Amino acid sequence: MPKIVDKEAKKRDIMHAAMEVFARKGVTKTKMIDIAEKAGIGKGTIYEYYRSKEEIFGDAFMMTYSQTEDLIGDINQSSDDPETKLRQIMESTVNAFFHGGGDFVGIMMDFWSEGIRNKDERILQIFDLNKIYQNYRTVISDILQEGITSGIFKEMNTQLTASVIIAALDGLLLQWILDRNIFDPREATEVLVNTYLDGIKK
């Protein structure tokens, strides 16, 4: 009997291998043969699953983004308390990107900067950052409005406040990528969350 290959499992294996190579060599220097060797498959075989390293990263990015969206949806459904929801969403977002030593967000920035620098549409079309930020702003803004309506939070411009919160989370991630000894990610996230909640609560 011919061996039955689980194609989705194989694609996940290739994605994991690619992320390790991207983290070690950088996006520009990584070749498809490097990823194939790390995944333990032939160069010809990898093209049965992916046409380019950009396509591999695109799948990895969408998988991580979808998981984060699902987690945020679960948090929104699991609690009626705006403070709890905001805290859990901020913590979960940072934890998702710090997972695996923060390599994913570093690789994402590497891909994004490469796309901007070379005006490479293959890369720029992988992730629509404007849409992602807008979705995240909407989620946070809605929670802030819930808190205002229920009398927990002060009156505020919810869209602007959501933008400021996202900017702070981005800044936290960026600082840690540049110097991973500067602070403990989870401790820093707790300080950030508490600071914002103290500022917006009545």
Please indicate, yes or no, whether residues 28 and 91 belong to a single structural domain of this protein.
no
Phi, psi dihedrals of residue 6, rounded to the nearest 5°: -80, 100
Q: Is 39 within 8 Å of 14 (Cβ atoms)?
A: yes
Helix 53-78 with 32-39: angle, nearest 10 deg: 60
Please indicate, yes or no, whether residues 108 and 141 belong to a single structural domain of this protein.
yes
- Provide the domain count of the chain: 2
Please indicate, yes or no, whether residues 30 and 101 belong to a single structural domain of this protein.
no
Residue 114 pLDDT greater than 60, yes or no:
yes
Sign of CA pseudo-dihedral 197, 169, 146, 81: negative
Please indicate, yes or no, whether residues 170 and 195 belong to a single structural domain of this protein.
yes
- CA separation for the pair 137, 170 (Å, rounded): 13
Please indicate, yes or no, whether residues 34 and 71 belong to a single structural domain of this protein.
no
Residue 157 pLDDT greater than 60, yes or no:
yes
Please indicate, yes or no, whether residues 141 and 196 belong to a single structural domain of this protein.
yes
| Model pLDDT, residue 1 | 47
Indicate whether this model's pTM tops 0.85.
no
Domain range for 131 is 58-200
Quote the distance between the C-alpha of residue 16 and its chain's center: 15
Widest CA span in the chain: 68
Please indicate, yes or no, whether residues 109 and 32 belong to a single structural domain of this protein.
no
Please indicate, yes or no, whether residues 30 and 62 belong to a single structural domain of this protein.
no
